[in-house]
Chains A and B, each alone.
Chain A
Amino acid sequence: MTERSTTDGSAPDNPAPNPPDNPASGKSAADAPTLELVGVVKSFGAVHALSSVNFTARAGEVTALVGDNGAGKTTLIKCIGGIHRLDAGEFRFEGKPVEVHGPRDATALDIAIVYQDLALCDNLDIVQNMFLGREPTSRARTLDENTMERLAKEALASLSVRTVQSVRQTVASLSGGQRQTIAIAKSVLWKSKVVILDEPTAALGVAQTEQVLTLVRRLADQGVAVVLVSHNMNDVLQVADNIGVLYLGRMAAQVRRKNVTQTQIVELITAGRSGDLGLTPEESTGAAV
């Protein structure tokens, strides 16, 4: 149990199952992580982008995925999102092995990816963006705007979003942080079980970064398994419960936040090992094993 989840991580009225009290040990069957990748291999021609990577993400936790440029973060989340197919390895969802052959499969499993470029339509308003592609219709097959607007407001309210003036303003008029907010709220609206955030704070100022991180925390507190891909060490240390470090296409270590220091994480990112954590010296030189 991390300090954070003891303080605010277990609201009793969460709709989704709460993480058990000892998520780190992972013993009981009910304890199966929402998302678990075992021995994932992905190559692009001669390039081994991922070599036998293990990765888990649990409901109610923020799992950070860090690593240097080219370490394989993007490849890994694209594998999860079904954009890349696994060459080898197992994809388990809520304890059961599943096949993910495309983005539709991932969506069907309630896995949502919030990409860096956000995938919002500037010319549509907040409600229209949140429901894009899944608009409810009323009789005569007309758009049910009122239901959409009400549900969108509820989703934003559930994340205690107060920075948005009107849900009927166009996304073009929003700041970067507000856009992230909308993209994240969309996953709440669609009751995603796994939400992968790709560099959500990359283009944001200090205050906005703070807002988005708070939002990430709230999202996890609703019982969602949040995967946070980030370069920013401060963000990761502030919000993550669990940190996975990729190094040259290998999972150097996936550790509890409370068990590591910033120095250790930085060493894992830059060298693949830190003390007895991480890869063996042979592996960390990138040699094929």
Chain B
Amino acid sequence: MSTSTDELAQHDEPDPSHPTEGLATLEAHTRGYLVRVRGGELGSIPAMVGLIVITGFFAIVHQGFLSAYNIEALVIQAGPIIVMAMGLIFVLLLGEIDLSAGTTGGLCSAIMAVLLLRHGWPWGLSVAAALIAGLLIGFAMGWLRANIGIPSFVITLATFLAFQGITLIFIGGQGSVIVPGDTPLISLENSFVPIWAGWTLLVLLVLGYAAVKLNDAAGRRRSGLPSPPLTVIAVKVLTFAVIGALFTYIMGVNRNLNTNAFFKNQSRGMPWVVVMLVILFLVGHFVLSRTRYGRYLYAVGGNEEASRRAGIEVSRIRISVFVICSTMAALSGLTAASLLQSVQSNAGAGNTLLLAVGAAVIGGTSLFGGRGRMIDAVLGGLVVAVIVNGMSDLIQGSNSAGYEYIVTGAVLLLAAGFDAVVRLHGRTR
């Protein structure tokens, strides 16, 4: 939501463009921000701190953790997790859960693979079919929840098992099917955006971000409302620009470890999945923060009865979040297939879902509904990817997967506990 603060409506607001009084607005802005943080509205602070601390830890204990090669690995590993977490946030906003998001993704990627390989469909149609399958699955589960009233926990636990079974049957005894490497689907996680295109994208994003912020501030001033000081906007835009530039620069470094590279002779540029994540983020963020539909998601998650009294069609909203979540899960499954360049018979099973839920919760989305943003999926997904990646480097040997499970589980529990404590703390009654 808007990060601006305002004092009493009766106060005369100082003109923010005036340099001397701008300082006062800045101070008021900072004070208001601190008040909200103390009130439990922590936003992305815990995820940011967590990301920095954990990354710092692994960077110290494991040399090469912050190499361009490993950062790229982190990003492509985080890709499927972030996509699934983005979808889950919609469901979590309503206080629901989709335990089958992982296996839905697995099933949809299996559908894609079967159509592509056994039926000879073109890749585009196969991918579209997989996404439509996700959409229909979501609709069915949402309908069962909203119109029949089965708890989402039970519905999705059932489909969690059932979809695993269908995937197993589809992929059969082979254990896995290899997806041919010449499709754009595989390029998503394995090919790279040209350097110049990466920088162009960054410049566009920074300019767009600045334009939106400035336009919002100007709009508020026109309406006679206090607007965030220019300094704050400048700091935000600059921070984003610096982080983005750093990332784009590192991704521009050739990270070939040997001369006979896997793809082409050099691997430079950011993976295409980054572009997809940016688009998904922008669309999701716009829907959640600027549309009525987004507002109603928060309202229903906050107080269903109040929303109903306000005339919101709760059951439609409820079905829609499952549709979004399952479609995003399908996309996540396809991304995972792109990463592995194959579809396993156990695709999407195991800890896939837990990692995504963990990502959303670590990012700051509440399991109790009513709180969550798109950025949560991105930051939380990165934290989870760092943990998974770092642990697998740290603990070699037969038990590494075991330790990875334990640490991921512990982090999820910690994040959920944090969520519950913040919730208690934020209450005044």
Q: A143-B292, A166-B32, A172-B426 are in contact. Are A121 and B307 (CB under 8 A)?
A: yes
Measured between C-beta atoms, what is the minimum distance from B172 to chain A in Å?
Answer: 47
A146→B295 contact, CB < 8 A: no
B350 interface contact, C-beta 8 A: no
Chain A minimum-CB-distance residue to B32: A166
Measured between C-beta atoms, what is the minimum distance from B350 to chain A in Å?
Answer: 33
B420 interface contact, C-beta 8 A: no
CB neighbours (8 Å) of B290 from chain A are: 142-143
Chain B minimum-CB-distance residue to A176: B429
A167→B306 contact, CB < 8 A: no
B220→A146 contact, CB < 8 A: yes
B291→A120 contact, CB < 8 A: no
| Interface mask (B271-300 → A, CB under 8 Å = 1, otherwise 0) | 000000000000000000011100100110
Cα distance, A66 to B123, chains bound together (Å): 71
Q: A128-B295, A132-B307, A137-B292 are in contact. Are A162 and B1 (CB under 8 A)?
A: no
A23 interface contact, C-beta 8 A: no
Q: Which of A123, A125, A157, A167 contacts B371 (CB 8 A)?
A: A123
Chain B minimum-CB-distance residue to A145: B2
A120→B298 contact, CB < 8 A: no
Measured between C-beta atoms, what is the minimum distance from A104 to chain B in Å?
Answer: 8
Q: A123-B301, A174-B428 are in contact. Are A133 and B311 (CB under 8 A)?
A: yes
A38 interface contact, C-beta 8 A: no
From 145 to 163 in chain A, residues with beta carbon under 8 angstroms from any chain B beta carbon are 145-147, 149-150, 153, 156-157, 162
Q: A141-B291, A167-B9, A175-B428 are in contact. Are A123 and B223 (CB under 8 A)?
A: no
B309 interface contact, C-beta 8 A: yes
Chain B minimum-CB-distance residue to A121: B302
B303→A122 contact, CB < 8 A: yes
Chain A minimum-CB-distance residue to B369: A123
B6→A166 contact, CB < 8 A: yes
A168→B4 contact, CB < 8 A: yes
B298→A123 contact, CB < 8 A: yes
B10→A169 contact, CB < 8 A: no
State the interface size on chain A (CB cutoff 8 A).
41
B36→A169 contact, CB < 8 A: yes
B299→A132 contact, CB < 8 A: yes
A172→B307 contact, CB < 8 A: no
Cα distance, A173 to B38, chains bound together (Å): 11
B333 interface contact, C-beta 8 A: no
A132→B2 contact, CB < 8 A: no
Measured between C-beta atoms, what is the minimum distance from A40 to chain B in Å?
Answer: 23
Q: Which of A104, A107, A133, A156 contacts B9 (CB 8 A)?
A: A156
- Given pairs A123-B371, A128-B299, A168-B2, 18 additional interface contacts (CB within 8 A): A118-B306, A120-B303, A121-B306, A123-B298, A123-B301, A123-B302, A124-B299, A133-B312, A134-B310, A134-B311, A142-B290, A145-B2, A149-B225, A166-B5, A166-B6, A168-B5, A169-B36, A173-B428
A-B contacts, 15 of them at CB < 8 A, read: A107-B311, A119-B309, A121-B298, A121-B306, A122-B302, A122-B370, A123-B370, A132-B306, A132-B312, A143-B292, A146-B222, A146-B225, A149-B225, A166-B6, A174-B428
Residues of B with Cβ closer than 8 Å to A?
A: 1-2, 4-10, 32, 36, 39, 41, 219-220, 222-225, 290-292, 295, 298-299, 301-303, 305-307, 309-312, 370-371, 426-429
Residues of A with Cβ closer than 8 Å to B?
A: 103-104, 107, 117-125, 128, 132-135, 137, 141-143, 145-147, 149-150, 153, 156-157, 162, 165-170, 172-176
